[in-house]
Each structure stands twice: as structure tokens, then as C-alpha cells.
Structure 1
Amino acid sequence: MTNRPQPQLSLPKNKIRVLLLEGVHPSAIEALAEQGYHEVRTLKGALEGDALKEALAGVHLLGIRSRTKMTREVIEAADRLIAIGCFCIGTNQVDLEAARGAGVPVFNAPYANTRSVAELTMGEAMLLLRRVPSRSAGAHQGRWDKSAAHSHEVRGKTLGIVGYGSIGSQVSILAEAMGMNVLYYDIAPKLPHGNAQATRSLEELLRESDIVTLHVPELPTTRNMISEREIRLMKPGAILINNARGSIVDVEAEARALAEGHLLGAAADVFPVEPKNASTPFESPLQGCDNVILTPHIGASTLEAQERIGQEVARKLATYSDIGATLGAVNFPEVQLPARPEGMRFMHVHQNRPGILRQVNDVMAETGCNVTAQYLQTDGGIGYVVVEATLGAGTGEGDVLARLGQLEGTIRTRLIRAAG
């Protein structure tokens, strides 16, 4: 990088500044306090542009949810930032390559809200099969429609799950417990839970399912994966649920299928374009469609899930700050380290090129440091080496760190002192 971060000596925890945006659950503050971090500033909303850059001045650890956009420009302007915590599942609000290039690991909570999303999905499936949304709206308006037409039990119906990861497999367990037949499709082979059966193709799942629920990440390959063609492959009178990512479904094609009666109903918790905040109007082609549940991206918005997410991500940030471990980072080599360093712990993030480790060891030898342990992992274009060493006579820790920072290919260096 042209603007290489300065070598960073370990700081007392009362000098490490933490910024939590977007109303991160108080459990994160409690978890950080338990680890000795008390310089925590919190803001309810998201920030962007110059306001975000200004707020990040001097901040070491940042916590965000889904609305704060950590672009390359913002990351490069954050002079003290050492780690980012996404207090959610997704991380596409962060330019992961820019963070990696700046030597900043990004952590998230990939499993903490799986139960919340799975429960929402099953609740929607039952309500839509019974046509509760339209019946409820009718009752509010004074209509009393007791007809059983197009109302069904979930028992015996076939649920098709697209994406059989942590959430999809949870949905599978709940659905089977309610007497449903479960099919699933995933691009990677996955062992089934219970009696769930894998289909050979997405098309097969769409043709065979009474309800299709989506649980895939946002990738170029999943953009509009459910479009006009796929919707028309679904059974007449089927239901489509999207609690994954807004870009996965062509909502205009979905709205047409609902208006024509090809789909009995739908639920969406995510949308291609979502309001930046509560004061921004929400618009969607699905508004006004019969038997449709629209929710404002609340799949993980349960107190239980937010508490778990707060604890998990805060713990990852504190662990990285305390000992340098990167287990669970989404953009960084994963290095698991002992909780207590033996001597000084020098961390060196570098471009993944031949000879770097030799140069690091040369610095240790030339400064008279006695290496007691060494850990190295590489991931794509970067490497992360952690060297534990005791200092040689007359050698200053700042001198060693400065020499490591001058090595060609260095991205970032940091030092954690042994616990006293």
C-alpha cells in the first residue's frame, strides 16, 4: 500500500477506542467491558461519507451492522483502525479486499441468528398457507371471510429449501417436526437432517415444492437466481419466501406471478433496494399484492439473536486486540493463538510473496531476539505471521517493530506485550 499504517505498539485497554454504530445490542458493551474495554462510544444510526471518516479518527475497533458502508476510501482514511466487527451475518457492507489490503480483519456472527430466521420462515409458511395476511387485512376493514378456499395445513406439504447451510438446515429440522416433506438444493454436497432429500437441480426442487424458501448468500451467481423462468417452473398455487438477500429474486416477475394467481402467496424480508433509515419511504412492486407478507429486514431482529450477536462479535474483536488471534475472520488468514503470549508477540501482515518469513527471522536474529514460538498462515494475496520472542540485551521493542515495518511487502505491523 502507498500509505502504510505506522507500526503499532500495544496500548493499555483504557486507551483503545471502540466505536459501535447502528444501535448494536448492549451485550456487546458488556462483553467488551468484561475484557477490560471501557472506552466505547455508541451511536444509534449509521454514518456515511465525511461524517463516518470523522467519527473513525483515532478509533481502533469498529462495530457496525448492515447500513454503514465501509468503502475503500473510508478504510484508507481510518488511521488507527485494526479490526471491524459486523454485528450481523452479512459482510457485503464492507469492502473486504480493501480491508484485507489495509491489514484489517473483518469479523461477523455467521450462526448467531440462524434460529430467529428459521422461526420467521416457518411462521410465514403457516400464515401464507392459511391466507392469514389477506384475511387479517379483511377483518381490519370489517370483512368476515370464513371460507376454507385455498387454505391448507402445513402437514404433508413439500418444503423446498434453496441453500442448505446453517439457516436452511435449521428450517429443515423445524419443517420436518411439523410433518412436512423436505427437499433441498445446494451447490455443495450437504448431509441431510432427518428425512430431508437433496434434489439434483434447482429446477427439480422448484417443480416439486409447495413452498420454496431461499437461504443463499449474495453472490454474482445468485443475483436474480429466481427470475421469471424459475417462478414459472414452480407449481401453480405455490408460495415463495425470501429471507436471504434482496438481489436473489426478480421482484417484478414475482409480483406478476402473484397478480395472475400463479403464486398463492409470498413473503419477503429483504429487497433489492432498502431504505437507509426509518424516515425514508419504502417502495416495492410487491406492495398491494394479495397474501403477501413484507417485513423490514427483521429476520435477525429478535432480542435473543441480537444479544448473541453482540456477545460473539465483541468477543472476536477483543480476542484479536488482546492476543492477535484471527479465528473467524472472513477476509484474513485464520491464526489461532494461545491466550497468553510468551514474551513479546510481534504481528506482521504482509503481501504473500516468497522470502518474507526469512526476512522476518533475519530481523529477529539481527536484533538478538530469542524466538519462542511462530505462527504463519496465508490466504490469497496476504500472509499473517505472529512471532513470540524475548528481547535481546539492549534491544528495544520499538526498534524491532520498526525494522519489521520496513521490510518490503509489509502491510501492517503490531506488537502485543506479554501480560505482566
Structure 2
Amino acid sequence: MSKPIVLVTAAAASEETQQLLGGAGIELVFMQGTVDEVSLLKAFSCYRIAAVILRGPAPFTRAVFDEAKALKIISKYGAGIDSVDLQSATAHGIAVMVTMGANAGAVAEHALALMLALARDLPRFDRELRKGVWKDPHYVVRDFSARTVGIVGYGQIGQRTAQLASACGAKVVVHSRTRSALPPEMDWEPSLDRLLGRVDILSLHCPLTDQTRGMIGERQFRLMKPGALLINTARGKLVDEPALIAALKRGHLAGAGLDTFATEPPDPAGPLLLLPNVLCTPHVAAYTTDAGALMGTICAHNIISYLRGEIYDRRNLMNCAGRFTTGGT
């Protein structure tokens, strides 16, 4: 009997993932170069693939699912599944699972690092010192602890980011589609418009959906305080990038800390990355040793259990596939 084949939409997988899957008698096939609809269709035509480890935004469209005759499960190395046609996956009886919460701490740390770097104007000081400019005793920055941080999206990453910002002394205000119990030192704001006018730093932690796509645009930027900061470690397409560029250029926003972009990788010669008040990283917020090991472990267990007719953790299941339903424990 041939081994089940797992397709990895990247050139590598973590050691934890490979050891667990190999120990379960599963063969791994890796994708090299650009992963798009054409390359996915080719992979499914060449191999009888039972499962996919989804790394990055590989486009699982209806056409791909039509070709994936043997596919039973997609296990995302992370939490974002906006590149997957979830409705089509469900219609084809294919489970879509994530590694719920595995990277929450890593992404929250990265968001806080961007906040602190911009709040203390570290990119400017770094640039000027390298040019031979010493400190100006008349230029001082405002304490981070004197700022109000707005958290949009209160899932596990949003919660961890809120905790870290609060621990550093900032006032935290939360907005999300569903209201949750908050620590007494944090405020809930049901109106996004009102939240925008209250905060000094806006940090995005919501998934990309039809409802959230472009949710922060020209009107929202004008509602924000002059000198406010934007942090986005969620999805680039939550933000209208031309509107962001305009707000940064005219000085209404003091800066932006971005780990995600509308198009990845972004054009290094494009107007966004050329702005001196933009601090950017290449979608690496979740890439830490501990988060990577945990995501790899959960990702593998999702597949091993599902191919055995079981669910590793029902919270990781994002759709109703076969006899399994979402939610619960």
C-alpha cells in the first residue's frame, strides 16, 4: 500500500512537522519557486495528494479543488486562511484546519516591538546617527505609557497584544465584532469610528474577510488623531494602501509599522517602502523558534488525526467537512 502524500506549499517544513509525519508513514512533497494556481494544478495532476500543509498565501481556488481528487484536508501553518475558497473546500468535502493560537505570543511581541520602535522614534534616531547627526536636546518623544493603544480584533493575538501593551503602561481600548470580558484596566469600544478618535496607536488583529477588506481607508485615517501610529501584523489588505501613503505623506499619521502588505512581497521601489516614517518587516511576526515548533507540531497532528478519521483539536477546524463540524473542544 502506497504512503499518503502531503503537499507542502513551500520548499521546507519544520523538523517537528517532518518527524511527526514521517513517523506516521506519510510522504512529503515540497513545492519550489512561485506557488500559484498553475503550479498547484500541476502538483495535483502529478501526485495523489491526501493532505496539504499550507504555508503562505497559496491560492486554493475552486479550480484547484476540482483537480484535487484525493485531497481530504488542508492544514494551515498559522491561522490566516484568506487564500482558501472555504465554501468550495466544504462543497468538496475537504477539511480546512489551522494551528489556533500557536503563533499568538510571537505576533503579539512583534506588534509591541513595532509600537515601541515608532513611539520612541527609533528609526529616525538610527538614520540620523548613521549620518553623523547627534542628539537634539530640544527634541523629545512622548512616553509609551502615556499613549492609548487601540486593539481591533480580540482573538488570541489581539488579547496577547493588549496584555503586553497594558503591561508596558499604555491605556488599552478594544474593538471587535463580538464583545468579550476585559481586564478592569482595559476599555471596550463598540464603535470603530469612536475608537479611531480615541487612540494614539491603532493595532490591527482581525482576519481578512469580505467585511474587513479595506476597513481602514481614507475616511478612517481622517478620524484618527493627528500624529497617530498604525500597526498591522494581521493582513495587508485590511488597509487601503494608497490612503495610508497619503495620510503618512501629509503628516496626519506620524508613522506605520507594517509586517503585512496588500501585495507580498511589496515593491521595494514603491511609494510605501520609500517613506521614512514606515517601519516594515517581511511578514515574519510569527517566525520565532518556539512558535515555529508549535505550529509545525499542531499542523502535523491535524493531518495525522484527520487521515485516521479523528479531529486533533476541534477548535482548529474552520469548516464543516464530512461528519465533522466546527467549534467546540
TM-score (norm 1): 0.71
Does 2:160 align with 1:173? no
* Equivalent position of 1:205 in the other structure: 195
State the Cα deviation string for residues 268-323 of structure 1 (Å, max 9, x = none). 11111223xxxx84454322223320111112122221211111111011000013
Find 2:36's aligned residue among 41, 48, 52.
48
SS at match of 2:174: strand
* Equivalent position of 1:298 in the other structure: 284
Find 1:118's aligned residue among 105, 108, 132.
108
Cα 1:191–1:283 change in 2 (3 A) is farther
**1:19 counterpart letter in structure 2:** L
| In structure 2, distance between residues paired with 1:308 and 1:378 | 24
* Equivalent position of 1:83 in the other structure: 73
* Equivalent position of 1:285 in the other structure: 271
Alignment of 1:105-184 (within 5 A): 105-147=95-137, 149=139, 151-184=141-174
| In structure 1, distance between residues paired with 2:52 and 2:243 | 39
* Equivalent position of 1:268 in the other structure: 258
| In structure 1, distance between residues paired with 2:276 and 2:246 | 11
Report deviation, 1:45.
Answer: 4.3
Contact 1:46 1:67 in 2 (8 A): no
SS at match of 1:266: strand
Alignment of 1:314-393 (within 5 A): 314-325=300-311, 327=314, 328-333=316-321, 349=322
Report deviation, 1:111.
Answer: 1.1
Between stretches 256-265 and 204-213, larger displacement belongs to 256-265
Alignment of 1:58-97 (within 5 A): 58-97=48-87
Cα 1:15–1:148 change in 2 (3 A) is farther
**1:82 counterpart letter in structure 2:** K
SS at match of 2:264: coil
Cα 1:310–1:122 change in 2 (3 A) is same
| In structure 2, distance between residues paired with 1:37 and 1:183 | 48
Cα 1:377–1:19 change in 2 (3 A) is closer
| In structure 2, distance between residues paired with 1:304 and 1:33 | 21
Contact 2:37 2:60 in 1 (8 A): no
* Equivalent position of 1:398 in the other structure: none
**1:203 counterpart letter in structure 2:** D
* Equivalent position of 1:25 in the other structure: 14
Cα 1:148–1:302 change in 2 (3 A) is farther
Count of residues in Structure 1 that have an aligned counterpart in Structure 2: 321
| In structure 1, distance between residues paired with 2:53 and 2:324 | 25
**1:216 counterpart letter in structure 2:** C
SS at match of 1:264: strand
SS at match of 2:146: coil
Structure 2: tracts of 5 or more residues without a match: none
Contact 1:17 1:59 in 2 (8 A): yes
State the Cα deviation string for residues 347-378 of structure 1 (Å, max 9, x = none). xx4xxxxxxxxxxxxxxxxxxxxxxxxxx566
**RMSD of equivalent CA atoms:** 2.1
| In structure 1, distance between residues paired with 2:241 and 2:42 | 38
Report deviation, 1:211.
Answer: 0.9
Report deviation, 1:79.
Answer: 2.2
| In structure 1, distance between residues paired with 2:99 and 2:325 | 22
Contact 1:114 1:167 in 2 (8 A): yes
Contact 1:24 1:87 in 2 (8 A): no
**2:29 counterpart letter in structure 1:** R
* Equivalent position of 2:219 in the other structure: 229
Report deviation, 1:17.
Answer: 1.5
Contact 1:243 1:268 in 2 (8 A): yes
Identity of aligned residues (%): 32
Cα 1:53–1:220 change in 2 (3 A) is closer
Report deviation, 1:218.
Answer: 0.9
SS at match of 2:74: strand
Report deviation, 1:44.
Answer: 5.0
Contact 1:59 1:80 in 2 (8 A): yes
Cα 1:68–1:155 change in 2 (3 A) is same
Report deviation, 1:159.
Answer: 0.8
Between stretches 46-55 and 241-250, larger displacement belongs to 46-55
Contact 1:24 1:64 in 2 (8 A): no
